[in-house]
């Protein structure tokens, strides 16, 4: 494990389902991120949380709803998704303003919407 744990690793859901992705880090980081990685697109930043406050929502549809109850946990709530939302969803964490600046990624959740 890298210090950033994502669950579940795989998720298949229907378009009318509601599910949640979970991310947990114990690295003492104060910023957490959700990225979407599709087969033919680069890493797309979805949400940024710094000190538990959402500081960025990168034009993400409202069917994706993030939640950050504390600096160690991040959730992505999903509802009424579309097939094109099928992708690898990666969580990452970092020190927001300290060195090192690099992200530590989780292993991702492979989401399939049927």
Partner 1 sequence: GENVEQHPSTLSVQEGDSAVIKCTYSDSASNYFPWYKQELGKRPQLIIDIRSNVGEKKDQRIAVTLNKTAKHFSLHITETQPEDSAVYFCAARYSGGSNYKLTFGKGTLLTVNP
> Per rule CB under 8 A, is residue 26 in the interface with partner 1?
no
Q: Which residue has the tokens 């990225």?
A: 35
Q: Of these, 23, 29, 89, 106, which contacts partner 1 (CB under 8 A)? A: 106
Query: Per CB under 8 A, which of residues 76..105 are in contact with partner 1?
Result: 90, 96-97, 100-105
Contact call for residue 66 and partner 1 (CB under 8 A): no
Closest C-alpha to 23, from 82, 78, 93, 85: 93
CA distance 44 to 41: 8
Place of tokens 């994502």: 6
Provide the binding-site residues for partner 1, judged by CB under 8 A.
2, 31, 33, 41-43, 45, 48, 50, 55-56, 90, 96-97, 100-108
């Amino acid at each position: 494990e890298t210090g950033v744990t994502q669950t579940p690793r795989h998720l298949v859901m229907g378009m009318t389902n509601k599910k949640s992705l979970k991310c947990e880090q114990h690295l003492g980081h104060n910023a957490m991120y959700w990225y979407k990685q599709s087969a033919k697109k680069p890493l797309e930043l979805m949400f940024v949380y710094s000190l538990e406050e959402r500081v960025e929502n990168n034009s993400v549809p409202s069917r994706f709803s993030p939640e950050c109850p504390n600096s160690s946990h991040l959730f992505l709530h999903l509802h009424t998704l579309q097939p094109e939302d099928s992708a690898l969803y990666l969580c990452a964490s970092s020190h927001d303003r300290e060195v090192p600046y690099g992200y530590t990624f989780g292993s991702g959740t492979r989401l399939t919407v049927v």
